[in-house]
Amino acid sequence: MKILVISDTHNFISDAVSLIETLNPDYVIHLGDMCDDCERLEETFPHKLIISVRGNNDYYDQKYPYERFFELGGKKIFMCHGHKYNVKATLSRLMYKGEELGADIILYGHTHIAYLEQADDKIVMNPGSMHTYGIIEIEDGKAEARIENVF
């Protein structure tokens, strides 16, 4: 299973469209800022499951939750935009929440800075913003992640 992870597209979805067309992921995760982008991606790719949360710039859009916790491929995933966990200053509150939930994968955005940590079968990822993205591949209960540049 291949998961494309994007965040903070801020009304610039041409790279996301190209990535979905090229990579053909099984799922797309959008970590907020802008929910309108998620709706446009859903319209463009009606057969793709796009899982999204809202960010600090999506305060007007009540359709999406601020965070989600779910399972894919046997891995428990916690996703949020990150602003409610003060991720620009520290990851400690976010990590605590992920541990509390028993998450195998913790995904966040907001900082526009790509970040990836993989240790002890746990993944913490921020795909960055418009010109970087994350890929998570889950096979036989094992997850591997990487950050790539769009260019």
pLDDT digits (tens, 9 = 90+) for 8-47: 998 888 999 999 999 999 999 999 998 889 899 999 999 9
This prediction's pTM:
0.95
Please check the confidence at residue 101 and state whether its pLDDT lies above 90: yes
Q: Provide the β-strand partners of residue 145.
A: 136
Fold of 2-149: Purple Acid Phosphatase; chain A, domain 2 (3.60.21)
Average pLDDT, the chain: 94
Least confident of 71-75, 92-96, 109-113, 119-123: 119-123
pLDDT score recorded for residue 38: 87
- Each residue's pLDDT tens digit, 52-67: 999 999 878 788 999 9
In the predicted model, is pLDDT for residue 1 greater than 80? yes
pLDDT of residue 59: 78
β-pairing verdict for 49-52 and 27-30: parallel
Are 87 and 57 a contacting pair, CB within 8 Å?
Answer: no
Q: Token pair of 142, please?
A: 């094992």
Return the domain boundaries, the chain.
2-149
Q: Is 112 left (phi over 0), alpha (psi -120 to 50) or beta?
A: left
DSSP string, 2-65: EEEEE---TT--HHHHHHHHHH--SEEEE-SS-HHHHHHHHHH-TTSEEEE---GGGTT-TTS-
Expressed in angstroms, the distance from the first to the final Cα of the chain is 24
Q: What is the pLDDT of residue 130?
A: 79
* Total Cβ atoms within 10 A of residue 22: 9
